[in-house]
Amino acid sequence: MRSLSIAILILISTCVLKAQTTVDTIRLSSGETVLAVVKEITPDEIKYVVAGNPDGPLFVMPKSKVQSITYSNGVKEEYTSTLPSQGTSHPSGNSSRNYDNYQGRTSIDANAKEYEFGDRTNRNTPIVYYGIDFTLVKFVGSSGFNDPAKIVDVYLDKINQKIIMEQDKYDMGVLFKRRDFDIDLEMLSGRNRSINPYDVVTNSNNNLSEVQIRELISTYNPQAQEGIGLVVVMESLNKLREQGTMYFTFFDIKTKKVVDIRKASGEPSGFGITNYWMKPVYEAIKKLKRSY
């Protein structure tokens, strides 16, 4: 009997260990690596959860952004990327950069509901977090941004991805007062990479108005038909003041009507460009947590 109990314990331990070590490695065309558990692969998309968070949100990654997947059993699958190469040099001036291949909705469902800001805490209200929109940002302090093209092509996407991968730290759920929400970073990914890096570096402050933000939201074309969307509109990454400023903006997905805007800021710190400019977002969430 004792031998049987020991055998069962060994079997359970083996299964637990196997579950803990089942990690697939997704390598993106940008060079970034995502540790994940792949759930499904369709002709156009890869669906996965972040490794270590099996009950977390399901992410959808276009195959066009993926270079390869190395599965936990050692099998490697290669993909042919159609994205432009990252870190390429761009001529100064008004170069044309259009990387936005996002396919939003083609029509609006007549039965889709409209929502107000207060509906965000209702469990029946669909919630979608769209990430950080950098299209109106200014990099303030030219001496602190020696390679703006690399920041635009590589690091802006990394900031958005890493914030989602570290949800325990960057807890957007506190702004909804709930944990169940969807994530769609693709709507803004192409827009952010389309920024002309030589137009965003300045030595002057950047002050956005609510009118500008509402106009920006009106240009979105989300895939979802209804619900409340949250986007963080970045105003400035300011090396002169050592500050990042942004607007947490909630909007009705059906009408794209803005239902709440709140400005917040934080002081950057940390090793590397990604961590350095992620810190203001972390501090902003902490500040807003008290006001929601």
196 and 138 together in one domain: yes
- Provide the CA 116 distance to its chain's centre, in angstroms: 23
Averaged confidence pLDDT in the chain: 83
Q: Please report whether residue 215 resides in a domain.
A: yes
The predicted pLDDT at position 259 comes to: 96
Identify whether residues 49 and 187 lie together within a single domain.
no
Please indicate, yes or no, if residue 277 is contained in any of the structural domains. yes
pLDDT at residue number 74: 77
The answer to whether position 83 is within a domain reads no
Q: Which CATH number covers residue 45?
A: 2.30.30.100
Check whether residue 139 and residue 284 sit in a common domain: yes
Q: Which of 78, 108, 127 is the last residue of a domain?
A: 78
Q: Could you give the 3-state DSSP secondary structure of residue 157?
A: helix
Which of 29, 62, 78 terminates a domain? The answer is 78
Same domain? 29 vs 157: no
**Per-residue pLDDT tens over the stretch 243-256:** 999 999 999 999 99
Q: Is the pLDDT of residue 4 over 70?
A: no
d(CA 83, CA 81): 6
One domain, residues 122 and 195:
yes
Do the domain assignments include residue 5? no
**Whose CA is closest to 259, among 108, 109, 118, 113?**
118
Are 196 and 268 members of one domain?
A: yes
Residue 108 lies in a domain: no
The verdict on residue 107 lying in a domain is no
| Same domain assignment for residues 58 and 179 | no
What is the residue type of 140?
Answer: V
- Tens of pLDDT along 122-175? 889 999 999 999 999 999 998 889 888 889 988 999 999 888 888 888 888 888
Return the higher-pLDDT residue of 217 and 181: 217
Q: List pLDDT tens digits, range 62-118.
A: 787 788 888 888 778 887 644 444 444 444 444 445 556 677 888 888 899 999 999
Is pLDDT of 7 > 60?
no
* Segment of 44-58, 170-184, 245-259 carrying the highest mean pLDDT: 245-259
Identify the pLDDT of residue 138: 95
* Burial status of residue 202 (CB atoms within 10 A of its CB: 0-12, 13-18, 19 or more): middle
The structure's pTM equals 0.70
Parent domain of 148: 117-291
- Please state, in angstroms and rounded to a whole number, the distance separating the CA atoms of residues 144 and 261: 29
CB 237 within 8 A of CB 244: yes
| 44 and 131 belong to one structural domain | no
* Residue 222 lies inside a defined structural domain of this protein: yes
Question: Predicted confidence band at 5 (pLDDT cuts at 50, 70, 90)?
Answer: low
128, amino acid identity: V
43 plus 182 within the same structural domain:
no
In a domain, 84, yes or no: no
φ/ψ of residue 243, rounded to 5:
-155, 145
Total domain count, the chain: 2
pLDDT confidence band for 2 (50 / 70 / 90): low
Q: Are residues 48 and 154 in the same domain?
A: no
Q: So what's the pLDDT on residue 162? A: 85
Same domain, residue pair 165 and 239: yes
Best CA proximity match to 244, nearest among 109, 139, 147: 139
Same domain, 62 and 137: no
- Per-residue pLDDT at 291: 77
Rounded-to-integer distance, Cα 47 and Cα 41, Å: 6
